[in-house]
């Protein structure tokens, strides 16, 4: 009797759920029939025009091509600089890659490949490389900074005289400078001034997968939301999706600290401490990242978003940092073994 009653209860509950769904669907159809498709579109426009101060706004709402020719300069010929240059070139923008020496620039221009990075990958022919900042910086519409954080200050100081005062800069470099303990926003303002607009990109994005066209989502943060929208529109395509935010501090802290947690997780794996220890370390590390962000004025939602604790799932930790942490443990073990032998 009890089993029969349970079965009847489930059947009644399922019937009620289907009835509610059907009623809602009928009301929606009646609404569309009564007010027409323009009313629905108007409602969508009203929803899309609302500000979202605590979340990310989509970059694809009312995306319009810029009314002027866009020229992109990417400073830095590493993996991520090559990936961003590839995105810009695929979207039809003339893109110049500023590299360190002329030999690498000639190699990229002739073979459309890099002699060291992105092995066996052919870059779009719209990418042109140069080692002379005078050729690519003065007439650039947007500049993408992809030089590693610890070398950014010296590099930016050397090219600052070639960058016009009003040219916006998008930084894709992540980290905290060891000498000043400053973020990329601090370095850029110190070297290029605080009168121009800056934006900062972060998110779970491996350079190789970006070049190969794998679906990727990132966030662009800027105090100037118009700049963030423009950059998101220029960079987004069918596989590379950009969201926007005003929380620059949160995006920078998430981009810098998450890799430290991933390296520590790799050290756990190298020591053979097991999944329990790695889970505890990652969870507590993400909590510290959140507290650090809140101390600097970041939003909690940013730290837990694309730029931050996406690595809380230990099965999707950044493999490069995990391997690095594992390799650190291995080399430390070899070093200690050698000392013991010498002793």
Dihedral sign for Cα 324, 319, 252, 284, please. Answer: negative
Find residue 244's DSSP bridge partners.
57, 220
Here the tokens at position 275 are: 């999944």
Residue 258 a catalytic site member: yes
Rounded to whole angstroms, the Cα distance separating 157 from 320 reads: 30
Here the tokens at position 132 are: 């002379």
3-class DSSP state of 144:
strand
Using DSSP, how many helices (H) and how many strands (E) does the chain show? 13, 9
Q: Give the Cβ contact number of residue 29 at 10 Å.
A: 10
Rounded to whole angstroms, the Cα distance separating 67 from 318 reads: 39
Catalytic residue among 7, 134, 258, 319: 258
Rounded to whole angstroms, the Cα distance separating 267 from 264 reads: 5
Rounded to whole angstroms, the Cα distance separating 291 from 187 reads: 23
Which residues are catalytic, by number?
A: 258
């Amino acid at each position: 009797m009890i089993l029969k009653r349970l079965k009847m209860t489930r059947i009644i509950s399922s019937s009620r759920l289907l009835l509610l769904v059907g009623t809602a669907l009928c009301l929606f159809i009646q609404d569309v029939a009564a007010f027409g498709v323009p009313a629905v579109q108007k409602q969508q426009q009203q929803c899309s025009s609302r500000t979202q101060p605590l979340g990310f706004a989509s970059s694809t709402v009312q995306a319009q091509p810029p009314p002027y020719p866009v020229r992109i300069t990417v400073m830095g010929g590493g993996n991520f600089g090559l990936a961003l240059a590839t995105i810009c070139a695929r979207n039809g923008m003339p893109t110049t890659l500023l590299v360190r020496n002329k030999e690498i620039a000639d190699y990229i221009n002739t073979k459309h490949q890099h002699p060291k990075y992105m092995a066996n990958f052919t870059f779009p022919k719209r990418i042109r490389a140069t080692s002379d900042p005078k050729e690519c910086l003065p007439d650039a519409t947007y500049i993408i900074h992809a030089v590693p954080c610890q070398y950014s200050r010296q590099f930016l100081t050397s090219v600052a005289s070639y960058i016009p005062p009003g040219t916006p800069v998008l930084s894709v470099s992540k980290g905290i400078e060891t000498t000043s303990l400053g973020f990329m926003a601090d370095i850029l303002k110190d070297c290029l001034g605080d009168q121009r607009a800056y934006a900062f990109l972060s998110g779970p994005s491996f350079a190789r997968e970006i070049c190969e066209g794998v679906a990727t989502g990132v966030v662009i943060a800027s105090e100037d939301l118009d700049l963030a929208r423009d950059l998101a529109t220029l960079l987004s395509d069918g596989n590379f999706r950009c969201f926007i935010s005003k929380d620059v501090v949160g995006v920078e802290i998430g981009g810098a600290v998450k890799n430290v947690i991933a390296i520590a997780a790799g050290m756990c794996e190298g020591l053979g401490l097991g999944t329990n220890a790695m889970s505890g370390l990652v969870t507590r590390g993400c909590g510290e990242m959140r507290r650090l962000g809140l101390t600097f004025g970041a939003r909690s939602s940013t730290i837990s978003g694309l730029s931050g604790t996406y690595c809380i799932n230990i099965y999707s930790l950044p493999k490069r940092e995990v391997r690095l942490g594992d390799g650190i443990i291995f080399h430390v073990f070899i070093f200690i073994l050698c000392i013991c032998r010498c002793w």
